[in-house]
């Protein structure tokens, strides 16, 4: 059967997949460069307690963006920073009036997180650009790399801040409404690192800016590793509902106050935590994840009954209706617990991101490419949120996952093989070329 040729300028280089004996050498060289880039970024925000801490809109996150910008500039791309803090790099050989194929991921982390979440996708995008340049291929839809800001919701609760600004999904009100645990607003945090949130609306792209968005990410689960499969092609990405609950009780002496007279905020919060866990374990909610990941207790003294507790709940699911229904039921259940215990509950939703079903045709191009390249793959669903689910509002998005060792993520022990990332890069080079050809054909027929 004849191979489908990628979209290359006639005479500009060999067709995709014709590297032959150089494939192994190229894979090893790519893996070596990936390892070096990962190490360089990993040194930024290295936490003395372990892992990395590059929270959204802090100097370590900005330093990581500056380093990535240096790499992209060295490849000859035009690099700029938008008002939301995204780093955008364009192939200067392309026509600025033509929608681009966009590659990218994020560079921020959770506190004491790993150095592969997001970063793997950024260095992969750099290597895809290098791969096209080495082959001399020209695309009908020129490449754009975007290093996205604030994907983790660890600081402000709201995930994917940079990509939501690009997609027009971040309202200006979020600048003052979103705050971190120290009371710093999103807008102030942006100003603290030299950004101008007054121009946030200028970060928005039009539908003419992007023809497609592709992201490589570490899996953050164990399916690929357990099954020995190197690549996961994502069909759907879970959405999330995040809530901040404040339980107000009555602080009192731990020895003087009788058990019957107490307004123990922590005891009520503990019951809420177990209720959240139970919701995630319900057989009817198979696939849903429910977590209490943060709790602050006041006055946090051994001999004082806690008078106030703040806890953050994160519910995730690919089923939109079930996601919202469970989130609502948890708030109602927390209210009943607090009423029964004689304490007061204040609950508010701090983030609500819908699930995404990624376009089948984009994934089909990837599966066809894997088969022709002899790459083993598996179709998977992403339980973790991604920038791709937000960018999918703007342009057709595709997401490829590479294995995570023991499925660990958001911890210092997070690790993915550079060879596995390099294998993902090999797929992405071919994937981009074929998507470019497919879209160019459609545009020719339609135009």
Q: Residue 148: beta bridge partners?
A: 106
| 326 membership: H or E segment, kind and range | helix 320-341
Tokens of 266: 């922590």
Query: Residue 138 contacts by C-beta under 8 Å, 6 or more apart in sequence?
Result: 8, 9, 12, 93
Q: Residue 253: beta bridge partners?
A: 304
pLDDT of residue 93: 86
CA 318 – CA 323 distance, rounded (Å): 8
Under DSSP, the state recorded for 15 is P
Query: Residue 296 contacts by C-beta under 8 Å, 6 or more apart in sequence?
Result: 181, 309, 310, 311
* Strand 377-382 relative to strand 289-298, pairing: unpaired
CA 52 – CA 45 distance, rounded (Å): 5
Which pairs from 290-296 meet CB under 8 Å and 24+ separation?
A: 290/314, 290/315, 290/316, 290/326, 290/330, 291/315, 295/269, 296/181
**Can you spell out the DSSP letters for 253-286?**
ETTTS-GGG-B-HHHHHHHHHHHHHHHHH-GGGT
Nearest CA to 7 among 118, 126, 140? Answer: 140
Under DSSP, the state recorded for 239 is E
CA 246 – CA 422 distance, rounded (Å): 45
Q: Residue 381: beta bridge partners?
A: 236
* Strand 289-298 relative to strand 143-148, pairing: unpaired
Q: Residue 429: beta bridge partners?
A: none
CA 104 – CA 215 distance, rounded (Å): 6
- The alpha carbon of residue 257 and the mean position of all alpha carbons in its chain are separated, in whole angstroms, by 47
CB atoms within 10 A of CB 324: 17
- pLDDT means per 10 residues, the chain with 447 residues, are 33 37 72 98 96 98 98 98 98 87 98 97 98 92 97 94 97 95 96 97 95 98 97 96 97 97 98 98 95 96 98 96 97 98 96 94 98 97 94 97 97 97 98 96 76
- 120-132 burial string, b = 16+ CB within 10 Å, else e? bbbbbbbbbbbbb
How far apart are the two ends of the chain, measured CA to CA in Å? 30
Q: Which domains does the chain have, with CATH numbers?
A: 22-238+355-446 (3.40.630.10), 240-353 (3.30.70.360)
Report how many helices (DSSP H) and strands (DSSP E) the chain contains, helices first: 12, 15
pLDDT of residue 130: 96
Cβ pair 53, 107 in contact under 8 A: no
Q: At what angle do helices 119-135 and 418-446 cross, to 10 degrees?
A: 60
pLDDT of residue 26: 87
**Can you spell out the DSSP letters for 157-224?**
S---HHHHHHHT-S-TTHHHH-B-TTS-BHHHHHHHTT--GGGGGGGPPPTTTEEEEEEEEE-SSSHH
* Strand 210-218 relative to strand 397-402, pairing: parallel
Query: Residue 302 contacts by C-beta under 8 Å, 6 or more apart in sequence?
Result: 254
């Amino acid at each position: 059967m004849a191979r489908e040729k990628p979209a290359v300028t006639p005479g500009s280089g060999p067709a995709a997949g014709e590297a032959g004996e150089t494939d192994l050498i190229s894979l090893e060289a790519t893996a070596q460069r990936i390892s070096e880039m990962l190490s360089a970024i990993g040194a930024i925000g290295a936490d003395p307690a372990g892992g990395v801490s590059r929270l959204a809109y802090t100097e370590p996150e900005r330093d990581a963006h500056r380093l990535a910008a240096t790499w992209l500039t060295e490849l000859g791309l035009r690099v700029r920073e938008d008002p939301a803090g995204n780093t955008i790099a364009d192939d200067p050989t392309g026509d600025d009036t033509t929608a681009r194929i966009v590659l990218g991921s994020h560079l921020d982390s959770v506190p004491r997180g790993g150095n592969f979440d997001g970063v793997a996708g950024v260095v992969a995008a750099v290597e895809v650009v290098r791969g096209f340049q080495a082959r001399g291929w020209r695309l009908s839809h020129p490449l754009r790399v975007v290093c996205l800001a604030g994907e983790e919701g660890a600081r402000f609760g709201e995930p994917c801040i940079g990509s939501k600004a690009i997609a027009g999904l971040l309202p200006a009100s979020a600048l003052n409404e979103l705050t971190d645990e120290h009371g710093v607003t999103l807008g102030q945090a942006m100003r603290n690192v030299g950004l101008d949130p007054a121009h946030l609306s200028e970060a928005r792209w039009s539908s003419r800016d992007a023809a497609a968005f592709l992201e490589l990410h570490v899996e953050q689960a164990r399916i690929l590793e357990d099954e020995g499969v190197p690549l996961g092609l994502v069909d759907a990405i879970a959405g999330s509902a995040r809530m901040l609950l404040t339980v107000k009780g009555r602080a009192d002496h731990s020895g003087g106050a009788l058990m019957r007279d107490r307004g123990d905020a922590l005891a009520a919060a503990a019951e809420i935590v177990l209720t959240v866990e139970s919701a995630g374990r319900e057989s009817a909610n198979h696939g849903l994840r429910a977590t209490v990941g943060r709790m602050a207790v006041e006055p946090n003294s051994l001999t004082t009954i806690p008078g106030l507790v703040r806890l953050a709940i994160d519910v995730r699911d690919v089923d939109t209706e079930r996601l919202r229904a469970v989130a609502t039921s948890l708030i109602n259940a927390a209210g009943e617990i607090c009423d029964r215990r004689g304490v007061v509950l204040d609950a508010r939703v701090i983030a609500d991101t819908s699930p995404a079903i990624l376009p089948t045709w984009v994934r089909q191009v990837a599966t066809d490419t894997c088969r022709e390249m002899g790459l083993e793959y598996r179709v998977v669903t992403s339980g973790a949120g991604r920038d791709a689910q937000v960018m999918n509002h703007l342009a057709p998005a595709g997401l490829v996952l590479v294995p995570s060792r023991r499925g660990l993520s958001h911890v210092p022990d997070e690790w993915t093989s550079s060879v596995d990332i390099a294998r993902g890069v090999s797929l992405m080079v071919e994937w981009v070329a074929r998507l470019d050809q497919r879209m160019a054909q459609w545009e020719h027929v339609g135009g």
